C-alpha cells in the first residue's frame, strides 16, 4: 500500500549528487542517483504540483510556527512590472533555484515601511556566551 512507503535522501560523500531511496518497511524498493540539475528539476516540479494540490484561502499572515528555508544575504534583484503596477523580487536560493515574487504597489509600500523601521532600530548586541 502507498502509505507504507517512505522516502530517504542523502548527499553522497563526493557531494556531486544525492541518492533518493524509496522504502517499503525496511526494504529499499527503488533508488536513484541525481546530479544537482536533476535535483533542482525535481524540486521545481514537485513545487508546481504542491501548489496545485493546496488551494486554501490566503491566510492573513504567514504562519509564525513554520520555520522558513532562510538563506543569509542571497543574490537578488528588483524588476519593475509597469503593466501590472507591481514589482518583482527575484531571489536566488541555493536550494530552490531562482524564485520570483510579484508584489502589487500597496504591498511594496508595506515592505518599504517595515524595512525602514528595521533600519531605524539599532541591532541587538549578542550576549557573551
% of the chain with per-residue pLDDT over 90: 53
Separation between Cα atoms, residue 103 and residue 81, nearest integer Å:
9
- Check whether residue 8 and residue 47 sit in a common domain: yes
Domain assignment present for 60? no
Task: Decide if pLDDT at 29 tops 80.
Answer: yes
- Check whether residue 82 and residue 113 sit in a common domain: yes
pLDDT confidence band for 83 (50 / 70 / 90) = confident
Domain assignment present for 22? yes
- Check whether residue 44 and residue 2 sit in a common domain: yes
- Nearest to residue 98, comparing CAs of 74, 64, 63, 121? 74
33: containing domain: 1-54
Domain assignment present for 25? yes
Higher pLDDT among residues 69 and 55, named by residue: 69
In this prediction, residues 13-42 reach a mean pLDDT of 93
- pLDDT reported for residue 50: 81
Place of cell 488551494: 55
Separation between Cα atoms, residue 127 and residue 129, nearest integer Å:
6
pTM, to two decimals: 0.64
Domain count for the chain? 2
Amino acid at each position: 500500500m502507498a502509505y507504507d512507503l517512505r522516502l530517504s535522501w542523502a548527499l553522497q560523500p563526493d557531494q556531486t549528487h544525492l541518492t533518493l531511496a524509496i522504502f517499503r518497511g525496511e526494504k529499499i524498493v527503488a533508488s536513484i542517483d541525481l546530479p544537482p540539475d536533476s535535483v533542482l528539476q525535481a524540486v521545481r516540479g514537485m513545487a508546481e504540483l504542491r501548489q496545485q494540490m493546496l488551494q486554501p484561502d490566503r491566510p492573513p499572515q504567514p504562519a509564525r510556527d513554520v520555520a522558513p528555508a532562510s538563506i543569509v544575504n542571497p543574490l537578488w534583484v528588483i524588476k519593475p512590472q509597469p503593466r501590472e503596477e507591481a514589482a518583482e523580487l527575484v531571489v536566488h536560493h541555493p536550494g530552490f533555484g531562482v524564485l520570483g515574487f510579484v508584489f502589487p504597489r500597496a504591498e511594496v509600500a508595506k515592505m518599504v515601511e517595515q524595512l525602514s523601521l528595521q533600519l531605524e532600530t539599532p541591532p541587538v548586541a549578542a550576549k557573551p556566551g
